[in-house]
């Protein structure tokens, strides 16, 4: 963890300049930090004290389409396992780079019409997750 001017940055992965994910917390939010869990160089979890339940923020960076299916499957399994290990009563926020293209169409009230390209397989998975 790095603290600068009251801002706290937690990170997971290699050194700060290559491979990894992180979350920067404002001084006010940093006061609520109960802990963090560096899962891998693609996933980190923070737990914030909140009411009525604690909040988990999961920051992730999915493999690009250049990676083979084995790596993508391993990442998805690691993310699923991480989610299963969190308290079921906690609020969960998953954010990051899904490396998905959802295309230029509206999906629910979450994705607007200003996306790029055509929807890809991962984008279809994100679309299904949004509509749940």
Q: Where are the domains of the chain?
A: 2-99, 100-132
Q: Name the pairing type of β-strands 55-61 and 91-97.
A: parallel
What is the pLDDT of the chain when averaged over all its residues?
A: 82
**Residue 131, pLDDT score:** 43
Say what the pTM is: 0.76
In this predicted model, what pLDDT tens digit does every residue of 50-106 receive, in sequence order?
Answer: 999 999 999 999 887 777 888 888 988 999 999 999 999 999 999 988 776 666 666
Could you tell me if 116 and 104 are in contact, meaning their C-beta atoms sit under 8 angstroms apart?
A: yes
Which superfamily, per CATH, for 2-99?
A: Endonuclease/exonuclease/phosphatase (3.60.10.10)
86 phi/psi in degrees, rounded to 5: -85, 150
């Amino acid at each position: 963890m790095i603290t600068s001017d009251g801002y706290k940055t937690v990170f997971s992965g290699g050194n700060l300049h290559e491979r990894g994910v992180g979350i920067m917390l404002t001084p006010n939010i940093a006061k609520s930090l109960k802990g963090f869990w560096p899962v891998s160089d693609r996933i980190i979890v923070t737990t914030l004290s909140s009411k009525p339940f604690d909040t988990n923020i999961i920051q992730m960076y999915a493999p690009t389409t250049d990676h083979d299916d084995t790596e993508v499957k391993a990442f998805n399994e690691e993310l699923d396992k991480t989610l299963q290990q969190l308290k079921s009563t906690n609020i969960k926020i998953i954010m990051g780079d899904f490396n998905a293209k959802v295309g230029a169409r509206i999906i629910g009230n979450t994705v607007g019409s200003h996306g790029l390209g055509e929807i890809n397989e991962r984008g279809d998975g994100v679309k299904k997750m949004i509509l749940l």
